[in-house]
Amino acid sequence: MARILTGIQSTGRPHLGNILGAIKPGIKMAGEANNDAYFFIADLHSLTTIKDPGLREEYVHAVAASWLAFGFDTDKNVFYRQSDIHEVAELTWILSCFTPYPMLANAHSFKDKSKNLHDVNAGLFTYPVLMTADIILYDADFVPVGKDQKQHLEMCRDIASTFNREYDSEVFVIPEAMISKDTMLVPGTDGRKMSKSYNNYIDIFLPEKALKKQIMSIVTDSTPLEEPKDAENCLVYQLFKLIASERDANTMKSKLEAGNYGYGHAKKDLFGFILDNYKSEREKFDEFMNDKVMLEMKLQQGAEKARQVAREVIKRVKDKTGYKTN
């Protein structure tokens, strides 16, 4: 049985890109026979940018509610909030003493921001060390991540191996990145990659009116209603195709290509489809968001399971480094 582990940042409410690119594939992978899945909400990482406690908690809950709404099985898997396991902060400090400064200075995530150093806090600089602790504290074998996280995983392997070498033992499991080449790229309402940072996202959990407004804002060209349209170049169709059945997608394509079917019609069809297709997920999301006690209970059950492994691993680390475990 291989242990897969991944972290999901709580930097906003999950959008359609996060759902199709991360939540649905993650749930599928966790359900596969030989996997023992540890998925957590990286709320300590999000403190590098989000300082407001209420907002951070709101995002933690929104991320958790999205995974649960899409059917993530928290009984079979381990689903928890990063900050609930205090050992991760302790391990981060220990590992930081095994991390060469130039390695961190070379991280893309830091270098990208290093032109504006006064905006960079030390938490952002040591982000890869916390991420390393996240992974090796749970003896993870495989870490499914996007291409952008490849360097962080290489650092993780380096830091864990340095520690193992120093103590001439196998204290840490050396994890492997699982980078899927064919992850779906969901376009945003302006045609760029859908992202929280571009404010071009579709939040399928919004109330109807607000959701409709987002869908109506999808950028289209000015081909008049009666004229045939190039479906493949139409963002509404591109989004529809990602979620609808092949038959429904072909129907929209034919209508666009035939003329007398405007972009407004296509947007209405997309909106109607989202409401129908995600009816139960929308309801469940609202139920969880309105029942924080239930949501917290699920997270605490996950934390309980995660803590057991974390305690064993931190004990191994402390035994080697000569600290007492209380």
Query: How far, in Å, CA of 144 to CA of 146, rounded?
Result: 7
Residue 212 binding result from ligand ADP, ligand TRP, none, given CB thresholds of 5 to 8 Å by partner type: none
Residue 156 or 270 with smaller CB distance to ligand TRP: 156
DSSP states along 32-50:
STTEEEEEEEETTGGGGT-
Per CB under 6 A, contacts with ligand ADP among 171-230 are 184-186, 193-197
Binding site for ligand TRP (CB under 6 A): 6-7, 9, 42, 45, 131, 134-135, 143, 145, 149
The catalytically annotated residue of 196, 229, 267, 284 is 196
Active-site pick, 76, 111, 113, 292: 113
The closest residue (CB) to ligand TRP is: 7
Number of Cβ within a 10 Å radius of residue 46: 21
Report whether 292 contacts 58 (CB < 8 A).
no
Of the candidates 51, 76, 115, 193, the residue annotated as catalytic is 193
Residue 196: name its binding partner from ligand ADP, ligand TRP, none (Cβ under 5 to 8 Å by kind): ligand ADP
Closest CB to ligand TRP among 149 and 214? 149
Decide if 193 is catalytic.
Answer: yes
What does 302 bind: ligand ADP, ligand TRP, none (CB cut-off 5 to 8 Å by kind)? none
Query: What's the rounded Cα separation, in Å, for the pair 21 and 183?
Result: 6
Residue 22 binds to ligand ADP (criterion: CB under 6 A): yes
- The token pair at 85 is 């396991």
**DSSP letters of 50-118?**
---HHHHHHHHHHHHHHHHHTT--TTTSEEEEGGG-THHHHHHHHHHTTS-HHHHHT-HHHHTTGGGGG
How far, in Å, CA of 38 to CA of 102, rounded? 30
The residue (of 25 and 31) whose beta carbon lies closer to ligand ADP is 25
Query: Which residue from 206, 212, 222 is spatially nearest to 189, judged by alpha carbons?
Result: 212
Paired tokens of 326: 């209380």
Binding piece for ligand ADP, criterion CB under 6 A, among 13-21, 84-92, 232-240, 308-316 = 13-21
Instruction: Catalog residues that contact ligand ADP under the rule CB under 6 A.
Output: 9, 11, 17-18, 20-22, 146, 184-186, 193-197
